[in-house]
Chain A
Amino acid sequence: MSRRLILWVPLGLFVLFLAVIAAGLFAPAERTVPSALVGQPVPEFDLAPGMAGRPGLSSAALRRGRPRLVNIFASWCVPCRQEAPQLAALARRGVPIEGIAVRDRPEDLARFLATYGDPFRSIGADVDRRVQMELGSAGVPETFVVDGRGIIRHQHIGAIYEADIPAILAAYEAAR
């Protein structure tokens, strides 16, 4: 009797194997790569200003006692246009937003900010994506919540939509 049951074990294993493969095929693939630095201090960096008349951004500036958002964006990035109204709304609520402009030129940045609004206190020019990679960010736009001691508390991947604002505000409040 037990021998006959054992005969079914390979078939059972095979069906299990198929189920695992099918689940992997049909489950929506995780397309985002979260930063492993959430909960850790911001790595050292010092970026020159992205455009004239605006301070650049350094890691030292992120340790000055106040939580803030660090928005990684670019004038050539289409979803960055979509999140502009939400960033403006956050800035209106008094949330300080620092910008890191990835692979951008001052004239393109100026045009972008004139068209879509300018919520940024500072804009660092990350011309070769060094700081983006330093932060473990895999694309634009991405937004980090950094607390007053320069610890990364939260990462939002992709554009910020209306529905994302409560979560971001909550992370910001928690970082105070």
Chain B
Amino acid sequence: MKILLAALVLAISTPALADSLLPPAELADTPLADPRQERQARALMEEIRCLVCQGQAIADSNAEMAGDMRALIRRRVQAGESPAQIRAWLIARYGNWVTYDPPFEPVTWPLWGLPLLLILGGAWLARGRFRRRGRG
């Protein structure tokens, strides 16, 4: 019974979120004053992965680290950097893994090329079917 209870407690307890005692970064959740810059920053946040939650973009994550990354993006956009520059900065530090929009490289070409190949293959198959049906 005790073991069952302990297991239950373990199952329903959430892991302690490793967050600091300091308040969130200033720009983590405060939009930039310039709406155009804010749009750029938001768009980039949608495609940058949260490093600690994984499987979420930093735009959607409540993790403190994600907030710090949002603040970093807003800070850099505000300072006049382009989203492409900021993405390159992040990739230089965390690798392609950090973006949901991986760049076209020899390692990633199957990601982009395979769907195209599959469509071509499908079209070729369909063509064969239609021809035969046309004859019959």
Q: Give A residues with C-beta under 8 Å from B.
A: 29, 31, 33-37, 74, 76-78, 102-105, 108, 127-130, 133-136, 138-140
Contact = CB atoms under 8 A, between A and B. Distances in A.
B19 A76 contact: yes
Interface of A is mostly: loop
Interface residues of B, number: 23
Contacts of B16: 78
Contacts of A128: 25, 68, 71
Nearest to B64: A103
Shortest 6 CB-CB contacts between residues of A and residues of B: A136-B93, A103-B20, A138-B51, A129-B68, A36-B95, A103-B22
Contacts of A29: 54
Given A136-B94, A139-B51, A77 B18 contact: yes
B57 interface: no
Given A33-B98, A37-B93, A136-B93, A76 B18 contact: yes
Given A128-B25, A133-B69, A138-B52, A33 B20 contact: no
A33 B54 CA distance: 10
B97 A139 contact: no
Contacts of B21: 76, 103, 105, 108
B19 A36 contact: no
Contacts of A37: 92-93
Nearest to A135: B93
Contacts of A31: 54
A130 B64 CA distance: 13
B72 interface: yes
Contact of B94 (A78, A129, A130, A138): A138
A127 B52 CA distance: 18
Contacts of B98: 33
B93 A36 contact: yes
Contacts of A138: 51-52, 65, 94
A104 B20 contact: yes
A102 B93 CA distance: 18
B32 interface: no
Contacts of A139: 18, 51-52, 65
